[in-house]
Structure 1
Amino acid sequence: MDDRPDRRRLALATAGLCVVLVAWNNLVVPALPGRPATAVAANVAATGVLLAGARGAGLTWAELGLARRRLPAGARWGGACAALVLAAYAVALAVPALRPLLADARAEGLDGTAVAIRALVRVPLGTVVWEEVAFRGVLLALACRLLRLPAAVALSCVVFGLWHVRPTLSGLAANDLADGVVATATAVLLTVLWTTAAGLLFTWLRLRSGSLLAPVLLHLATNSLGVLAAAVATRAG
């Protein structure tokens, strides 16, 4: 039986998802009115739609990293990595010379409630769960059906890197870190490379533990604790 039509549909679905994901974070979400609340709601809805579509397309919970039997392994691996991140932030905050590395102008003027909402709601729901389901869940599972594992991992990581172009531009502008087109382009390229490498670490955790929970916990610790650390460092001057 000729399986070329199935592979063609799979290739189209994978390529289409790559385009949609890059456009979503760089074009769609930044244009939403009422951000950031609407962005969180949109990403939560997109997570549900993507999971429903993946299951409808025949991807299993195990392929998506959501099999219940793998949750303990995911908790062990993710918990250990999260503890390391917590220790790193604690050291950086304890050493005055390192605190400026954590400071972020976007944390200035935020009261305790705003910081808590960002760390406990916006980051977990609007960023971490959505990104892990999209990249280490659905995109990786689709790509693994189409490509060999190294190529599938590379694809998901590169798209994850490109996902961060617009957020990088926003961060550079808020912190006045790049002056001119060349400096900005260089900073964006370096960030894309860095987030691509981070995606590789998240993917390794996902594959090693067999559970999406592992990269979720590491991602959550990095971003949510990063918000808290930035708030403390910014206030400490």
Structure 2
Amino acid sequence: MRRTFALVTAVVVLAASTTLANRVLPGWAYPVCGLVAAAILVALGRAAGCSWTGLGLATLRRPALVGLAGAALIAVVFGIALAAPALRTVYQDGRVGDPDFGQLLWLTCGRILFGTVLIEEVAFRGVLPGLLGATDDRWRWPPILGAAALFGLWHALPALAIGRNAAVHAVFGATPVVVLQVLAMAAAGVAGIFLHWWRHTGRGVLASVIVHFTTNAGGLTLAVLVR
């Protein structure tokens, strides 16, 4: 019963957090909202009886090493994409704007790291799988798929702007926004499984944090470079 209550409360906290961050709060408060929500979720997980290991927060060394290996792999992929002109449209995104170096630093190390990556990894690779019964010793599909599905739903509001990406627009053209939103949410759910693999392999959320941050921050930086 404690875990059920904590799970429902966590979903409510996440729904409130994404609504506040994307529709209500000013830009500077975006990472603050993520930090507060992450702290609340960890407290809920611990109150429900989840161990630090179950939340993916027990160790740092192995998760850091696995995460850095993933970051290196992603950097290679980004390098190939940057070198191949045909792939550059993937990073041409109307949501990027024209940030200077200071703004880019804020977007990557402020908004992305604390407002996006931290809350998402703590929530969807740490607390929610733990509350759903995931363990570090073996891969269990039900809690992982449950957390991945919620991760997809979490992207409902951000997915509304996915059509502003040049590659998405080139492929889907005049596809209705609702259809693009559903597809983007489904893609986010698949990405959630991929990120949980890194968390599971690294035996800690820090591994998926590093991979997630490298993907998002690297993608934004490339989008600025090729705009």
TM-score range, shorter chain: 0.7 to 0.9
The match for 1:15 among 4, 8, 31 is 8
In structure 2, distance between residues paired with 1:72 and 1:102: 32
In structure 1, distance between residues paired with 2:178 and 2:44: 35
Do residues 62 (structure 1) and 57 (structure 2) align?
no
- The residue aligned with 1:200 is 193
* Larger Cα-atom Rg: 1
- Provide Cα deviations, 1:123-176, integer angstroms capped at 9, x if missing partner: 11111111100111111111117xx93211111000001111110113435879
Provide the TM-score with structure 1 as the length reference: 0.84
Do residues 28 (structure 1) and 17 (structure 2) align?
no
In structure 2, distance between residues paired with 1:52 and 1:164: 23
Provide the TM-score with structure 2 as the length reference: 0.88
Instruction: Letter of the 1:51 partner, please give it.
Output: V
Taking every aligned residue pair, what percent have the same amino acid on both sides?
31
Instruction: Letter of the 2:25 partner, please give it.
Output: P
Do residues 96 (structure 1) and 88 (structure 2) align?
no
Do residues 39 (structure 1) and 30 (structure 2) align?
yes
Are 2:6 and 2:44, in contact at CA under 8 Å, matched by a contact in 1?
Answer: no
4+ residue segments displaced more than 4 Å: 173-176
In structure 2, distance between residues paired with 1:133 and 1:193: 20
In structure 2, distance between residues paired with 1:29 and 1:108: 19
- Once the two structures are TM-superposed, the CA of residue 104 in structure 1 deviates from its matched residue by 1.3
- The residue aligned with 1:76 is 65
In structure 2, distance between residues paired with 1:122 and 1:213: 18
- Provide Cα deviations, 1:19-72, integer angstroms capped at 9, x if missing partner: 4424532x23222232x211111111111222223223332111111112xx22
- The residue aligned with 1:3 is none
Do residues 165 (structure 1) and 134 (structure 2) align?
no
Pairs within 5 Å for 1:151-162: 151-162=142-153
Are 1:22 and 1:162, in contact at CA under 8 Å, matched by a contact in 2?
Answer: no
Instruction: Letter of the 2:20 partner, please give it.
Output: V
Structure 2: gaps (5+ residues): none
Instruction: Letter of the 1:86 partner, please give it.
Output: A
Are 1:64 and 1:141, in contact at CA under 8 Å, matched by a contact in 2?
Answer: yes
